[in-house]
Structure 1
Amino acid sequence: MVREIVRDVIFLGQKSTDATVADIKTAMDLVDTLEANRNACVGMAANMIGVKKRIIAINDNGFTKLMINPTITAKSSKFETEEGCLSLSGVRPTTRYKNITVKYLDMNFKEHTEKFTGWTAQIIQHEVDHCDGIVI
């Protein structure tokens, strides 16, 4: 189900808690909402649809990737950039890393550790920040 986008900075600034199997419906809604906003958005976190759970969905080179309880375990090649957000207007400066390693669970709660680079790494960092209550 496509959900409304949350724009409340106070809500978005709160940390999310770990997701459980009981949160699968939220994960599916997040994917549906990302797909519905594909023309304006490349990634979303569950708090953007009103649920403070550590779930993100990203556009990974044309494919939607869902990550439950993502944690960035390594990062390298720091750079400065500007980013926008579907929940906020305008763009803001931020620091990102070109290379990251992420530990996460898939929809079946199977654990993965995966390396990402470039644009995909940047999207993941933005969405993990949402999970951590960091609003750029």
Structure 2
Amino acid sequence: MQIIIFRKVKRNMIRGIVKDILFLEQKSEPATKDDVEVINDLIDTLKANLDHCVGLAANMIGVKKRILVFCAGEIIVPMVNPVILKKDEPYEAEESCLSLIGSRQTTRYETIEVEYLDINFKKHKQIFTGFTAQIIQHEVDHFEGIII
């Protein structure tokens, strides 16, 4: 599988996955342009875990910032300070997380509208559906200290 990565600097920094529940339950702070290296580390760490992971939030690598990355086909998409503006069509899902053992039930939404900044801090507003929407919701929950 070929992965296309959009980022400014090419370097590899694979970080360990945090499993400390007390740390993961803490809320994340807004990210700034000074956090670009965190985005790159998230991309590298997701690439290293693609066989069993489709998304990561920054707190999962030990940084309490509102940054996530997810895999959409062959593309890794970073989102900085994402906000879910709308949610439609709730459903029950069973999810797992690299920070946890096993899987758990949760409510997700089939369609979401998200406002976010890309790696260059350009603002976007986009609608996501299906599994991609589910991944984003899972990672945004991490920002609030919500662990499935």
- TM-score normalised by structure 2 residue count: 0.91
Q: Residue 136 of structure 2 corresponds to which residue in structure 1? A: 124
| Count of aligned positions | 136
Q: Residue 79 of structure 1 corresponds to which residue in structure 2? A: 91
Q: Residue 23 of structure 2 corresponds to which residue in structure 1? A: 11
Residue 72 (structure 2) pairs with residue 60 (structure 1)? yes
Match among 84, 92, 113 for residue 101 of structure 1: 113
Task: Output the CA distance in 2 between the equivalents of 1:116 and 1:81.
Answer: 17
Q: Could you tell which deviates more after superposition, 56-65 or 97-106? A: 56-65
In structure 2, stretches of 5+ residues that fail to align are 1-12
Task: Output the CA distance in 2 between the equivalents of 1:61 and 1:118.
Answer: 13
Structure 1 runs (4+) deviating above 3 angstroms are: none
Alignment of 1:26-65 (within 5 A): 26-65=38-77
TM-fit CA distance, 1:61? 2.1
The Cα RMSD (Å) is 0.5
Q: Which has the larger radius of gyration?
A: 2
Task: Output the CA distance in 2 between the equivalents of 1:135 and 1:13.
Answer: 7
AA aligned to 1:38 is: L
Q: Residue 3 of structure 2 corresponds to which residue in structure 1? A: none
TM-fit CA distance, 1:62? 2.3
SS in 2 for 1:88: coil
In structure 1, stretches of 5+ residues that fail to align are none
TM-fit CA distance, 1:131? 1.0
Task: Output the CA distance in 1 between the equivalents of 2:93 and 2:131.
Answer: 11
- TM-score normalised by structure 1 residue count: 0.99
AA aligned to 1:72 is: I
